[in-house]
Amino acid sequence: MDNKSIDRARCFLYDTLALLFVEEHVKNNKKQIVENLRQISLNPFDDEVGEVANNIVNLIEENDKDILYEEYQNLFLVPFGTNVSLSVSWYHEERECGEMVVKVKEVLANTKIRKDEKLFKAPEDNFGFIFTLCSYLLEETDNKINKNLQKDLFKAVINPFFERFYISLLESKSPIYVSVGIIVGDFLSLERNYLNLN
């Protein structure tokens, strides 16, 4: 597989994760989420990932209520019970809007895009926003500057903290987001190896 094909696959996976961790997407783009997860289940980069992607699709499609958005709310928005933070700053210094917001903004300052305040209500260090930014930076596979920025973003913001994030998802007991946690952990571990950041 050539580098362009790899980058397209990486972009697709980041885009899928963004769909699962941005509230507006979870609320309004269920069809796209199911389609992306179905593609992952049919073309998995890992057997376990293919299996859990298929399980998520089945859970969403077999449930009368909007189980995906309900689980998103219970896990990421409700402040009591099992709450998992989507803030990288929380995993870095156990507070929201910390140093990691500055690091993401430094990457953003080198691009032509800015945060869409209507779509992204959370700060820039939110995992959903970061996954969206990674996808954007990989979209133009010939753009070396953006690819370098994506590596810098991964190295400074994602790599040191994603393990704590996905372990929190695995411990959440959410039928959907435990499976999403497996995808997060496996994909970002592969990404770490691909970017030679072991």
What domains are there in the chain, each with its CATH number? 3-193 (1.10.3480.10)
Q: What is the largest CA-CA distance in the chain?
A: 46
What pLDDT does residue 188 have? Answer: 98
Residue 72 exposed, middle or buried by CB count within 10 Å (0-12, 13-18, 19+): buried
Long-range contacts of 92-95 (CB under 8 A, 24+ apart): 92/160, 92/161
Q: pLDDT digit of tens for each residue in the chain (198 aa)? A: 568 899 999 999 999 999 999 999 999 999 999 999 999 999 999 999 999 999 999 999 998 789 999 999 999 998 877 899 999 999 999 888 899 999 999 998 998 877 777 777 888 999 999 999 999 999 976 788 889 999 999 999 999 999 999 999 999 989 999 999 999 999 999 999 999 997
Q: Are the C-beta atoms of residues 137 and 149 closer than 8 Å to each other? A: yes
Backbone φ and ψ of 111, nearest 5°:
-120, 175
Residue 55 exposed, middle or buried by CB count within 10 Å (0-12, 13-18, 19+): middle
Rounded Cα distance between 92 and 105, Å, is 16
What pLDDT does residue 63 have? Answer: 87
What pLDDT does residue 2 have? Answer: 67
Rounded Cα distance between 157 and 144, Å, is 20
3-state SS of the chain: helix, strand, coil percent to 5?
70, 0, 30
The token pair at 63 is: 């449930």
Rounded Cα distance between 48 and 19, Å, is 20
